Amino acid sequence: MIYHMLLRQQPYVELGVDYLDHLNQHVRARRLVKQLASLGYNVQLDSPPVVS
């Protein structure tokens, strides 16, 4: 992180605790399903409702 700050001459910016979770929600959903499956749960995902 320090390297990129010095290279780009930019100040540090806190992106937030859940920044990486919001980058790719499909990957996060898959990871969570695998975690639940490893605990013995059967999980079926439905598409979220479309808000218009």
Blockwise average pLDDT, block size 10, the chain, 52 residues? 92 88 85 94 85 74
What's the predicted TM-score (pTM) here? 0.54
C-alpha 5 chain-centroid distance: 23
Tokens found for residue 9 = 């001459």
Instruction: Tell me how crowded residue 3 is: count the other CB atoms within 10 A of its CB.
Output: 7
Closest of 25, 5, 3 to residue 13, by C-alpha: 5
Query: What count of residues does the chain have?
Result: 52
| pLDDT of 12 | 92
33, 45 contact by CB (below 8 A): yes
